[in-house]
């Protein structure tokens, strides 16, 4: 059965703000407490979706989570009316207030890890929502994310939506941002690459010293096991601690793969030359087809430029003609080293023959580029018919979502606005309307009942 890749993009929520909550994310920290524009952020994200859709690539949307989460504040000792909660949290712990408002689920590359049915022993597509236990503001996402995914992928004969891994340090999981799949085509059984930052079972294993490693070896191993991916098609790559300390908090900030192409920096992984050699040998012997690896040295682009430009967080997609487009943020065009790297990619012999630059500054300022905003899901024809059809992107849905954003989103949001009760009403009203647009039960999107 033929299969195609669908990009599930996260709709950026109406409480998008720059609270700088993500330790180790350089862009997030550098824009802390600056004014944000939820409306511009959401419209930029929708423009990217429309661009990919117009390339002829399947596209779907994932809804934002309900914010704020007052139950989170109540669980931490705040009491009173909603207005009193806002005032008390603002006075006592702005970090907790910002956490309950966080719109960070917009980066759906962290929503889950996906293994297509062609890779799984039971022939179903497997999904494990990420527990995101490494950061406070994101650790509260997974119950709602799981509920959304189970509503969209509800057919148990086609899909298996697992529970997230237990939320504890040794099983920290950050989703598809640390997962890459290689195959000659999306529909073939692939090689699944799991990148991890720390092996908690080995105290002598290298680890970063400045910033935390967010993905553990145990978590990656458990996901591969739960998904039923064949061991000879499963690869575990240890992230380079120096890269993590330079701001590479997820592997998709330093490496991106799509079908038979892998783009990476030379400092992406430990023992990289040997690991890449093994991958190429295994790929080419398995498929009798080349694996195109485009690797960049520190002389071509320093880690600091890779992180600031988000070159490797560009979105790499296969068009219907079989060639590939690399979708980069504008920052890559403005950074001489990153721009030169994109020119080298299209100049070399590989399937990437087009590079485009899109404005995603609102997301970029908070530490997420084009690849962060999408979750890759390979669906065969039967599965395409069984997902919830209300989230499938098309021109009509695009128009309705643009109107929805313009109606419900603020042009500007600053930290003081998080204590405004009107923002609460605006956010909930937007989610209620979105449930109607996406034809999903309001109780699912509002996460009640």
**Annotated catalytic residue 332:** no
Asked if the structure places residue 93 within a domain, the reply is: no
Asked if the structure places residue 126 within a domain, the reply is: yes
Asked if the structure places residue 85 within a domain, the reply is: no
Q: How far apart are CA 309 and CA 369, in angstroms?
A: 9
Asked if the structure places residue 183 within a domain, the reply is: yes
Q: How confident is the model over 65-76, as a mean pLDDT?
A: 96
The answer to whether 313 touches 256, Cβ cutoff 8 Å, is yes
- CA distances to 33, 136, 197, 223, 352 from 250, rounded to whole Å, are 23, 16, 9, 17, 23
Band of pLDDT at residue 20, cut at 50, 70 and 90: confident
Number of domains in the chain: 1
Asked if the structure places residue 349 within a domain, the reply is: yes
| Active-site residue, selected from the candidate residues 141, 174, 259, 331 | 174
Q: What is the DSSP string of 397-428?
A: HHHHHHHHHHHH--S-B-GGGGG-HHHHHHHH
**Annotated catalytic residue 59:** no
Domain CATH for 244? 3.75.10.20
Question: Is residue 24 pLDDT above 80, yes or no?
Answer: no
Q: Where are the beta strands (DSSP E) in 239-392?
A: 255-258, 261-265, 292-296, 315-318, 324-329, 352-358, 374-380
**Annotated catalytic residue 264:** no
Asked if the structure places residue 437 within a domain, the reply is: yes
Domain that holds residue 42: 3-67+102-445
The answer to whether 169 touches 213, Cβ cutoff 8 Å, is no
Question: Is residue 1 pLDDT above 70, yes or no?
Answer: no
Question: Is residue 21 pLDDT above 90, yes or no?
Answer: no
Q: How confident is the model over 40-61, as a mean pLDDT?
A: 98
Q: How far apart are CA 307 and CA 70, in angstroms?
A: 34
- Name the DSSP class of 371: T
pLDDT in tens, 314-366: 999 999 999 999 999 999 999 999 999 999 999 999 999 999 999 999 999 99
The answer to whether 67 touches 13, Cβ cutoff 8 Å, is yes
pTM: 0.97
Q: How confident is the model over 284-289, as a mean pLDDT?
A: 97
Asked if the structure places residue 84 within a domain, the reply is: no
Question: Which residues contact residue 436 at a Cβ distance below 8 angstroms, ignoring those fewer than 6 apart?
Answer: 442
Band of pLDDT at residue 221, cut at 50, 70 and 90: very high
Q: How far apart are CA 275 and CA 255, in angstroms?
A: 14
| Active-site residue, selected from the candidate residues 31, 227, 250, 265 | 250
Q: How far apart are CA 37 and CA 27, in angstroms?
A: 16
1-10, 28-37, 416-425: least confident range: 28-37
Asked if the structure places residue 33 within a domain, the reply is: yes
- Name the DSSP class of 346: H
Per-residue model confidence (pLDDT) at position 311:
97
């Amino acid at each position: 059965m033929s299969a195609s890749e669908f990009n599930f993009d996260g709709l950026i929520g109406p409480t998008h703000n720059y609270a700088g909550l993500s330790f180790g994310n350089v862009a997030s920290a550098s824009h802390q407490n600056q004014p944000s524009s939820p409306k511009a952020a959401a419209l930029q994200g929708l423009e990217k979706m429309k661009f990919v859709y117009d390339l002829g690539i399947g596209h779907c949307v994932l809804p934002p989570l309900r914010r704020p989460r007052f139950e989170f504040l109540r669980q931490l000792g705040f009491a009173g009316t909603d207005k009193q909660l806002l005032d008390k949290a603002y006075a006592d712990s702005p970090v907790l207030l910002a956490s309950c408002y966080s719109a960070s689920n917009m980066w759906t590359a962290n929503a889950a890890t996906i293994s297509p049915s062609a890779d799984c022993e039971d022939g179903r597509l497997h999904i494990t929502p990420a527990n995101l236990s490494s950061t406070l503001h994101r650790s509260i996402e997974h119950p709602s994310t799981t509920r959304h995914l189970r509503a969209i992928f509800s057919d148990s004969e086609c899909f298996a939506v697992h529970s997230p891994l237990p939320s504890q340090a040794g099983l920290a999981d950050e989703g598809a941002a640390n997962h890459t799949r290689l195959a000659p085509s999306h529909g073939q059984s692939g090689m699944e690459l799991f990148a991890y930052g720390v092996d908690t079972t080995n105290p002598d294993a290298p680890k970063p010293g400045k910033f935390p490693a967010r993905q553990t070896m145990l978590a990656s191993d458990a996901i591969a096991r739960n998904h039923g991916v064949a061991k000879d098609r499963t690869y575990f790559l240890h992230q380079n601690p120096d890269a993590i300390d330079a701001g590479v908090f997820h592997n998709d900030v330093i490496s991106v793969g799509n079908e038979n192409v892998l783009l990476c920096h030379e400092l992406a992984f430990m023992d990289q030359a040997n690991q890449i050699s093994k991958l190429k040998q295994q790929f080419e012997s398995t498929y009798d087809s080349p694996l195109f690896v485009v690797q960049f040295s520190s002389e071509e682009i320093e880690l600091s430029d890779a992180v600031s430009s988000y070159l490797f967080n560009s979105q790499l997609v296969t068009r219907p003609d079989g060639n590939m487009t690399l979708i980069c943020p504008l920052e890559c065009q403005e950074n001489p080293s990153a721009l030169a790297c994109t020119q080298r990619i299209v100049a070399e012999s590989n399937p990437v023959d087009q590079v485009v630059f899109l404005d995603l500054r609102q997301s970029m300022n908070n530490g997420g580029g084009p690849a962060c905003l999408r979750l890759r899901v390979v669906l065969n024809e039967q599965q395409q018919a069984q997902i919830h059809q209300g989230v499938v992107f098309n021109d009509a849905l695009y128009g309705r979502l643009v109107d929805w954003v313009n109606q419900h989103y603020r042009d500007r949001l600053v930290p003081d606005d998080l204590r405004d009760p009107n923002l609460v009403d605006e956010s909930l009203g937007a989610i209620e309307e979105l449930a109607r647009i996406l034809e999903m039960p309001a109780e699912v999107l509002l996460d009640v009942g």
